[in-house]
Amino acid sequence: MPSNLAKKSETQAPDKNRPFALDPLFRRVTDLSGIGPRNAALFEKLCGGERVVDLLWHLPIDFVDRRFAPQVKDAPDGRIATLTVTVQKHAPNKHRNQPYKVSCTDETGPLTLVFFHPRKDWLEKQLPEGATVIVSGKIEHYQGNAQMTHPDAIGTLEDREKIETVEPIYPLTAGVTNKTVRKAVEGALGFVQAMPEWLDQSYKTKQRWPDWHDALQTAHNPPGENGLDPLHPARARLAYDEFLANQLALALVRHKQQRKQGRQYQTGGPLRDKLLAALPFELTGAQKRTVTEIDADMAAPLRMLRLLQGDVGSGKTVVAALSMLNAIASGTQAAIMAPTEILARQHAESLKPWLDECGIRFVTLTGRDKGKTREALLQQIRSGAAQIVIGTHALFQESVAFADLGVAVIDEQHRFGVHQRLMLAAKGKGVDVLVMTATPIPRTLTLTAYGDMDVSRLDEKPPGRKPIDTLLIAHDHLEKMEESLVRKIAEGARIYWVCPLVEESEFLDLAAAEERYEVLQARFGERVGLVHGRMKGEEKDAVMKKFAAGELDILVATTVIEVGVNVPEATIMVIEYAERFGLSQLHQLRGRVGRGADKSYCFLIYSSPLGITAKERLATMRDTEDGFLIAEKDLELRGAGEILGTKQSGMPDFRVADITVHGELLAAARDDAKLIIDKDPDLKTERGEALRTLLYLFERDQAITYLRSG
């Protein structure tokens, strides 16, 4: 979410309230010497943007130490050295493929400089015979003599200080050299001015951190190997700045939301009693605790904004239903929004028996509803005849108007942007919002992505759920596994078979769903179905219904079945090329089975040889079903950006900070942001003004807008 809060379109005019000192940093990189329109696009690809500030966040990943300046006889083979030598003689190449050699010497011995395909006039200008020069590059010994092929740097004695340095090495892209990036960064650093200090002075002193502009200079000019360490004071300072901007932006949004007048709802009551009586199970302790937390939110006059995290099968739908009943008992409407049509209709089917028992009228609205059918549904929503509305993105279209929307439940939040959530909440006055996700999120990511929300966790499975046996099977043994499936089908088992792609790709050696479908059909006959992302909604639903009704034994699918599909009779999950999936995705897929009383199995089919990370992933899946533990491991193995897929999830894309390394700094930034909001919510103090600069620097402009709008 913060990335949605943060990022402004590059085409927008700069905020006239942005501190003047930051303006140079938001100029285009083409304002720097050596970057023209042609390579500006390459820099944008390399740095994630085309402004000076994007270049400043592009930190070096290695360095070359040119401070080693021995005499020629002491220069060791394979080492980079900076030598002071006198040019003796040029020996131009007679044939194109021969090297051009320049003989040099110092008082201890000879050095040959070797060049291939050089311009003779350029070399004679750089290395005039008789001149004393500085050369830097890798030393090699050939037939007992020292030589240097294509020196990295050539200069006069006056250039010694410039050459004898630690030279940073940057991540590159095709068409951009390290020399070009370094020159551009040096130009960008020239735009950096001293800023008012936004850090708490005592915390900064305790951490022994430099000022911001000094930290930036040091990060781009590492003093040695420790300068590349993410915990080096300069890099740690910059990471903390980024976390603080992220956490403060979220805290400001949260503060703004909480100040908005909410509504007080009745909680509990006869409707809840009816629903609880209709359930064939007891609520778990985690469900009871979460309902109590939601009741407290809804009974208070402030707006609720709560994230409900629950592993697959932990019972989020019941909690959502109980929350919606609070609104209905108080005379308002409720809505539940799901990311796909399959999931929206699944919710409708799950909720129907409970809502019917309570006498609650509900409708389902998706993009498939057209013409008169759609108009009839819209009329019921407008008039309030529909007390609960279940739907997809269709719910926040302009034509959808509620009589009085009281609570909005958003399922699988990471499939929606924050703007879509706000659009749905804007359909009523003071709407309480409950956001649900079945994707367990590591605690650190919860802070960065959902820091503007209160968080509840369903960390217990309903009683009676049996553990799922997870087995790792090499692709070579697929035939044997198929034979065991014949027996299981005879016993009444239903099987999901997941493939990574819809059709063969010439680039990726993956099992195609369509090809696997044909192979299984040849063996198991017509009781095999196929579902994939390119099918129309009606086609998908028809196949899913047949599978749920027991008319199909095997459902071959792509990951469209990952979220929300509920067939309790399905007890076997086969995932082909499991090593190609992320841990969280594997966990989601496995959660499609084990939903009934029968013993369930998950077969992870892998292709050898496996890399170290793939082995760890599959071993984790075999050893645990704890989604939160799996999420932490996924973060460790893949990093923050890929856990949910940054683009879909709105996860912040940190430029300097690394959650896997700087986790403690994130927690400190969150505490700091809370204190700032408690003491100076309008950022009016001297430090508050400096913090406004920080928010602009990291483009948390939306938070500033919230401040100005009160």
Q: Which DSSP string corresponds to 188-232?
A: HHTT-------S-HHHHHHHTPPPHHHHHHHHHS-SSGGGGSTTS
Residue 132 scores a pLDDT above 50: yes
Give CA–CA dist 499/562, Å, rounded.
Answer: 12
Q: Work out the average pLDDT over 456-473.
A: 85
Residue 119 scores a pLDDT above 90: no
Segment of 16-25, 283-292, 483-492 carrying the highest mean pLDDT: 283-292
Q: How confident is the model at residue 447 (pLDDT cuts 50, 70, 90)?
A: confident
**Which CATH code of 3.50.50.60, 2.40.50.140, 3.10.180.10, 3.30.1490.190 fits the domain covering 64-169?**
2.40.50.140
Q: Work out the average pLDDT over 67-71.
A: 93
List residues bridging with 166 in a β-sheet. Answer: 65
**Of 107-121, 376-390, 617-631, where does mean pLDDT reach its minimum?**
617-631
- CA distances 57 to 25, 43, 216, 644, Å, are 11, 12, 9, 23
Confidence at residue 414, expressed as pLDDT on a 0 to 100 scale: 60
Residue 639 scores a pLDDT above 70: no
Confidence at residue 652, expressed as pLDDT on a 0 to 100 scale: 55
Secondary-structure class of domain 270-439 per CATH? alpha beta
Q: Phi then psi for 103, rounded to 5 degrees? A: -85, 130
Confidence at residue 649, expressed as pLDDT on a 0 to 100 scale: 40
Predicted TM-score of the model (pTM): 0.67
Confidence at residue 49, expressed as pLDDT on a 0 to 100 scale: 85
Residue 93 scores a pLDDT above 60: yes
In this structure, CATH architecture of domain 468-624: 3-Layer(aba) Sandwich (3.40)
Residues in contact with 282: Cβ distance below 8 Å, sequence separation at least 6, in sequence order: 463
Q: How confident is the model at residue 114 (pLDDT cuts 50, 70, 90)?
A: very high
Instruction: Considering only residues 232 and 34, tell me which one the structure prediction assigns the higher pLDDT.
Output: 232
With beta carbons less than 8 A apart as the criterion, state whether 345 and 364 touch. yes
Cα 71 from chain centroid? 51
Confidence at residue 634, expressed as pLDDT on a 0 to 100 scale: 78
Confidence at residue 700, expressed as pLDDT on a 0 to 100 scale: 83
Domain spans, the chain: 64-169, 270-439, 468-624
**Of 84-93, 184-193, 307-316, 603-612, where does mean pLDDT reach its minimum?**
307-316
Q: Work out the average pLDDT over 248-258.
A: 82
Bridge-based pairing state of the strands 140-142 and 145-149: antiparallel
Give CA–CA dist 396/375, Å, rounded.
Answer: 15
Confidence at residue 559, expressed as pLDDT on a 0 to 100 scale: 61
Residue length, the chain? Answer: 710
Q: Work out the average pLDDT over 226-252.
A: 93
Q: How confident is the model at residue 509 (pLDDT cuts 50, 70, 90)?
A: very low
With beta carbons less than 8 A apart as the criterion, state whether 603 and 632 touch. no
Residue 710 scores a pLDDT above 50: no
Q: How confident is the model at residue 536 (pLDDT cuts 50, 70, 90)?
A: confident
Nearest to 262 by CA among 404, 401, 395, 406: 406
Confidence at residue 589, expressed as pLDDT on a 0 to 100 scale: 87
Matching fold, domains 270-439 and 468-624: yes
Q: Work out the average pLDDT over 563-575.
A: 80
How many Å is the maximal CA-CA distance in the chain? Answer: 101
**Of 140-144, 242-246, 688-692, where does mean pLDDT reach its minimum?**
140-144
Residues in contact with 463: Cβ distance below 8 Å, sequence separation at least 6, in sequence order: 281, 282, 284
Confidence at residue 467, expressed as pLDDT on a 0 to 100 scale: 85
**pLDDT tens-digit series, residues 400-436:** 999 999 999 998 766 666 667 777 778 888 899 999 9
With beta carbons less than 8 A apart as the criterion, state whether 228 and 60 touch. yes
Residue 499 scores a pLDDT above 70: yes
Give CA–CA dist 646/8, Å, rounded.
Answer: 17
DSSP string, 268-305: SSHHHHHHHHH-SSPPPHHHHHHHHHHHHHHHSSBPPE
Q: How confident is the model at residue 386 (pLDDT cuts 50, 70, 90)?
A: very high
Confidence at residue 298, expressed as pLDDT on a 0 to 100 scale: 94
Average per-residue pLDDT in the chain?
85
Give CA–CA dist 17/701, Å, rounded.
Answer: 10
Segment of 4-13, 248-257, 516-525, 556-565 carrying the highest mean pLDDT: 516-525
Q: Work out the average pLDDT over 628-648.
A: 60
H/E element holding 328?
Answer: helix 316-329
With beta carbons less than 8 A apart as the criterion, state whether 308 and 316 touch. yes
